[in-house]
Amino acid sequence: MKLINILLVLMGLVCTERLCANEQFNITQFKPREKQKDIIRISEAFDRKTIDKLWLSENFTLDPTGGESGTGALFCHKTQKDKQLVSSLDLKLNPQFRYRATIRYKAEKLKDVKGARLFFIEFYNSQKYAGGEYYYGKVIENQWNEIILEFQPPAQFDRAFAGFLMPKNATGKVWWDNFSIEPLGMLSALIYNVQPPNLTIRNDAGTISLKAYMYSKDIVESDLAMYVSTGGKEYVWKGMNGIYSGKLGKLPDGKLKLTAKLLDMRKKNILAEKELTLFVKKSAPLNYGSYIDEYGRTIVDGKPFLPLGFFCMKPTDEIMRNLKAGGFNFVMPYRGHLDIDESFSLAQKYGMRIFMNMLYQRPKGMQQSIPQMEFEGAKGIDEVLRAWVRKVKDHPMLLGYYLSDENPVEEVPYMRRMRENINEIDPNHLVVTLTYIAQHFPFFAETGDVLAIDHYPVETANSRSMKEIPNLLHDAGKTGIGVWLVPQTFNWGIYKAKTPEEYRKYRFPTVEEMQSMFLAGAVDGAKGFLFYAYHDIFENGDTKEPGSSVKNWTSVVKATKILKELEPYILSIESAPAVMIQKKVNAGLRTWNANGKTAVAIAGFGPGKSCLEFTIQSEPDLKSKFGGTVNLGKGKYRFTGNDICSDVLFSE
């Protein structure tokens, strides 16, 4: 949140006090917004009429009597692996509504089902993927079962469809029947907390900030107010830029439950409602541990900190030594929880911060569920998670907790519960949640202090664009919580190629491409970088291409140096120099002032040529670091580049 936003919120608090003082408020006057009665519902039995609407892949047919009641069903018998089969049904959906999709299925002799399975909803905009919902649950055989997906369409899409899926490596038989989509009503807004950090109130004022993420386009903010009730007291707060802040007063230490309702004051409607759990612990000052401040920066032990870290599997001396020498300052080990003592000991040995991975500690049937059921006397999924927190919360190298990794949006309530379990015990460390689907960002926002966004645009020689990075970061910034970028430092052939010949079709990003992706993150507001992934450079990379890790690691370290140079600027809260843009083609920039000096980062997004002409009158003598920008005199500059490109300008 920028300083101007803080001032606006303070102005909103004054307005709030006037509202409460001058108006006789009665929450019973407000009713839920009426549902539209003309919303289209979709229902399809798989008879010949429905089959004509479907796009049928190979091996898919109509079974005239295979349905649940002896009527028609969509049927697939897959006998060969290594090829995904999908049939689809186009849908007409409204982006302002939330939906529930239901499908019945029966499976026989289904083998090797991994990842997304059987059923999904996807969205495209201008032939580009715009998001989707997928089923990851357990497949039960030899009886009819139901899959339910609840989803919110993205704001922008021009095609939506239901997909009936046989995964790539699966074989067997599946029947689908009785498909339906039911609107759950207009989703006017979502409510979630953005302050206090780590879900913990620490002051006597009891200050909190709630975000109303708006979907409805027909309501002006001046008509809105946030109603909050807790402990028998009621509050009504006006907001600015979607943020509603107020003071709950002096509260006893412990768990705090509150109800928040977003109100349309003019029409007397309740637009959204949310039950929230926070914690009060006034003996937990923020000069120790980690949190995200009001500017989106990570604060560690009371000081601003630019996270530059790597995913790895299990920490070793070699990994930590390489990361430390490469200029990185933290690690997120997927398997570090399997030996907590060793992992944290190595972190302390090398002076590296470390995340505690909580990702797998969820019930069977959820995505990436590999729970430990016992740990140092604790038994059960929640109990083990809480025992982990108690074990690591006071370790000096703990940076935070890693909660999710591209999990389905329907798991958000469980992830919120995980976050609450963590912060109830440890109020002093942040939580990171990760997804790459833009329409999921506001839903995921309640599950972490940081929203990490992953996007990996470089695959083959034809990969020439990183446009989705600024698009995704722009959408993530609207959530009002901290944003980190998860950039690509791997070769897609590791995941997509089966043979050495296939692998040679893929490539590792160049130094310039990686550097440009990192700078695109800085330009679009990321204040942390978690690189994916160490094990794909070394173990997996060397398995596919022996000896490649030395060259690729050298490239990564070289590309990352620019972030270290920009660290004081990215963390600066000084007013940025004014910039006037005269021409902008396929590019973006950000300016900073820090400690009497100025920096400008420029990213060209590709594909094709990028151009940016701009003027910074206060800085006529900026110097280009990579040679992509020409000084035209009198504070005017011109950047040009091709495909994925970038430059940085510094004052003397």
Which sign, positive or negative, has the C-alpha torsion 100, 101, 104, 109? negative
Percentages helix, strand, coil for the chain (3-state, rounded to 5) are: 25, 40, 35
Whether residue 584 sits in one domain with residue 563 = no
In this prediction, residues 122-143 reach a mean pLDDT of 86
Task: Measure the CA–CA gap between 652 and 649, rounded to whole angstroms.
Answer: 10
Whether residue 463 sits in one domain with residue 340 = yes
- Token couple for 337: 């929880």
- Token couple for 39: 């919303």
Q: Residue 527 is part of a domain; what is its CATH number?
A: 3.20.20.80
Structural domain includes residue 60: yes
CB 180 within 8 A of CB 102: yes
Structural domain includes residue 2: no
- Residue ending a domain, choose from 186, 212, 231: 186
Question: What pLDDT is attached to residue 14?
Answer: 45
Counted domains in the chain: 4
pLDDT at 583 over 80: yes
Least confident of 94-98, 250-254, 338-342, 457-461: 94-98
- Structural domain span for residue 263: 7-33+195-280
pLDDT at 11 over 70: no
In this prediction, residues 554-562 reach a mean pLDDT of 98
Whether residue 68 sits in one domain with residue 113 = yes
Question: What pLDDT is attached to residue 564?
Answer: 98
CB 237 within 8 A of CB 212: no
CB 652 within 8 A of CB 604: no
Question: What pLDDT is attached to residue 112?
Answer: 66
Whether residue 145 sits in one domain with residue 52 = yes
DSSP-based three-state secondary structure for 494 = helix
Structural domain includes residue 265: yes
The predicted-structure confidence for 620-645, as pLDDT tens digits, reads as follows 999 999 999 999 999 999 999 999 99
pLDDT level of residue 17 (50, 70, 90 thresholds): very low
Structural domain includes residue 84: yes
Question: What pLDDT is attached to residue 3?
Answer: 39
Nearest CA-CA partner of 275 in 205, 202, 191: 191
Question: What pLDDT is attached to residue 432?
Answer: 98
- Residue position matching structure tokens 């990213």: 603
pLDDT at 35 over 70: no
Whether residue 60 sits in one domain with residue 13 = no
Task: Measure the CA–CA gap between 159 and 129, rounded to whole angstroms.
Answer: 10
pLDDT at 5 over 60: no
Whether residue 487 sits in one domain with residue 360 = yes
Task: Measure the CA–CA gap between 431 and 414, rounded to whole angstroms.
Answer: 14
- Token couple for 611: 């151009």
Beta strand pairing call for 353-357 and 587-594: unpaired
Task: Measure the CA–CA gap between 106 and 205, rounded to whole angstroms.
Answer: 57
Least confident of 38-42, 187-191, 528-532, 560-564: 38-42
Nearest CA-CA partner of 66 in 11, 39, 104: 104
Q: Residue 224 is part of a domain; what is its CATH number?
A: 2.60.40.10
Whether residue 376 sits in one domain with residue 509 = yes
pLDDT at 186 over 80: no
Whether residue 385 sits in one domain with residue 250 = no
pLDDT level of residue 606 (50, 70, 90 thresholds): very high
Task: Supply the mean pLDDT for the chain.
Answer: 91
- Residue ending a domain, choose from 250, 280, 310: 280
pLDDT at 527 over 70: yes
Whether residue 127 sits in one domain with residue 24 = no
- Token couple for 295: 């500017």
The predicted-structure confidence for 488-525, as pLDDT tens digits, reads as follows 999 999 998 989 999 999 999 999 999 999 999 999 99
Structural domain includes residue 285: no
Contacts (Cβ under 8 Å, ≥6 apart) of 301: 287, 288, 289, 290
pLDDT at 207 over 60: yes
- Residue ending a domain, choose from 539, 570, 601: 570
Contacts (Cβ under 8 Å, ≥6 apart) of 422: 358, 385, 389, 401, 403, 429, 431
Whether residue 401 sits in one domain with residue 341 = yes
CB < 8 Å & 24+ apart, contacts of 500-505: 500/544, 503/544, 503/545, 505/460
Structural domain includes residue 120: yes
Beta strand pairing call for 450-454 and 430-434: parallel
pLDDT at 453 over 80: yes
Question: pLDDT exceeding 70 applies to what percent of the chain?
Answer: 94
Structural domain includes residue 575: no
C-alpha distances in angstroms, 223 versus 107, 265, 475, 488?
52, 5, 24, 43
Helix (DSSP H) and strand (DSSP E) numbers for the chain: 14, 41
The predicted-structure confidence for 394-417, as pLDDT tens digits, reads as follows 999 999 999 999 888 878 999 999
Question: What pLDDT is attached to residue 276?
Answer: 97
Structural domain includes residue 523: yes
Q: Residue 139 is part of a domain; what is its CATH number?
A: 2.60.120.260
pLDDT at 249 over 90: yes
Question: What pLDDT is attached to residue 59?
Answer: 85
Least confident of 108-112, 432-436, 451-455, 543-547: 108-112
pLDDT at 588 over 50: yes
Whether residue 560 sits in one domain with residue 523 = yes
In this prediction, residues 231-254 reach a mean pLDDT of 96
Instruction: Classify burial at 538, counting beta carbons within 10 Å of its beta carbon; exposed 0-12, middle 13-18, buried 19 or more.
Output: buried
Question: What pLDDT is attached to residue 538?
Answer: 98
Q: Three-state SS across 382-421?
A: HHHHHHHHHHHCCCCCEEEEECCCCCCHHHHHHHHHHHHH
CB 261 within 8 A of CB 237: no
CB 272 within 8 A of CB 211: no
Whether residue 372 sits in one domain with residue 245 = no
Least confident of 84-88, 242-246, 588-592, 642-646: 84-88
C-alpha distances in angstroms, 451 versus 179, 309, 392, 443, 478?
34, 15, 22, 11, 11
